[in-house]
Amino acid sequence: MKDINLLTAPSNKTLEVLEINAGDAAKKRLMSMGIHIGDRLLKYNDSSWCPVLIRNITLNSSKIAIGKLLAAKILVRHEKT
């Protein structure tokens, strides 16, 4: 398993959040959206020009969109299924 950022991670795969390399304001924003270190996410799209659509499987949340710049700061691990 390789650690990559959320932006370049494959779609339709389970991903585990390892680290958030962003400032305090961005971290608080992600926490308010329900994204925490250790959570498992499902990424829905390979975004070339649109936001990244994800769902937090750990919290069984609804889909949310994250901008590409913020998604690039979220380090995830691809879980083999």
The model's pTM? 0.87
pLDDT tens column, 32-69: 989 999 999 999 998 677 899 999 999 888 899 999 99
| Mean confidence (pLDDT) of the chain | 89
Q: What is the CATH number of domain 3-78?
A: 2.30.30.90
Cβ–Cβ < 8 Å for 66, 52? yes
Q: Average of pLDDT values for 23-27?
A: 92
Residue 3 φ then ψ, to 5°: -85, 125
Whether 41 contacts 57, CB under 8 Å: yes
pLDDT at 48: 73
Q: Where are the domains of the chain?
A: 3-78
The per-residue pLDDT for 81 is 55
